[in-house]
Homo-oligomer: A and B are copies of this chain.
Amino acid sequence: MKKVLIADDEQDILDILKFNLEAEGYMVETANNGVVAIEKAKSFLPDLIILDVMMPGKTGIEVCGVLRMLPAFKSTLIIFLTAMSDDTAEVKGLEIGADDYLKKPIRPKVLMSKVNSLFRRVSKEIDHNINLGELIINRENFSVRYKNEDISLARKEFELLSLLASKPSKVFLRNEILNQIWGTEVIVGDRTIDVHIRKIRQKLNLDCIKTVKGVGYKFEL
């Protein structure tokens, strides 16, 4: 289920968009100004952000600029909402890394078709990626980025981290892990997992993989 964050200072717009997006099965969060939008984006990690250009405090363009600096939002979709009048905004918006823009007044149908088509466009890429803010795993590139640093993992390490990160907070039993990564054919000892976990912790600098004694491991935060 895709997550969408909407930022606008007009409650009406938030309501309309939220209603329509939820009707199509999206998970929606809202923010009524730029600062809140940035905060919520960081915690909610949406797949799409819809930003009003004109907001008190930080404009949508500024918000976009801030977010695009962060690696976690490098590939997040961003759509601008702009009033008919300020058409230079469109220009600046796309330059700064927006994926599309919408003119007010908004036609829900137009919005939904844009949103859907954007998601269709990138659906494959998104499926391949795991984006947890601090941690970005790209299955296509076999690359891992943690706290803004590229980390190179060996194959098993990569698979193990991918597995754990694919469902944050879920505890994976040792058996589950063995089945998923080693398969049912191969039989390896219990310490093997520990050793790989350790290597990951080492490379990622001790964090976020928690041990649940007597049960297994989970990825958190």
State the A residues within 8 Å of B (CB): 14-15, 18-19, 22, 27-30, 87-88, 90-91, 94-95, 140-143, 154-155, 169-171, 212-215, 218
Contact = CB atoms under 8 A, between A and B. Distances in A.
Contacts of A218: 141-142
A203 to B, nearest CB: 15
A19 B215 contact: no
Contact of A140 (B30, B88, B140, B170): B170
Which 8 pairs across A and B sit closest by C-beta, in order of nearness?
A155-B214, A141-B169, A142-B171, A140-B170, A142-B212, A18-B91, A142-B215, A141-B171
Contacts of A29: 95
Contacts of A18: 91
B15 A88 contact: yes
B140 A94 contact: no
Given A22-B90, A94-B28, A215 B143 contact: no
A213 B140 contact: no
Contacts of A171: 140-142
A94 B22 contact: yes
B28 A213 contact: no
Contacts of A91: 14-15, 18-19, 22, 30
A96 to B, nearest CB: 12
Nearest to A121: B1
A130 B95 CA distance: 24
A155 B213 CA distance: 7
Given A19-B90, A28-B94, A91-B19, A141 B155 contact: no
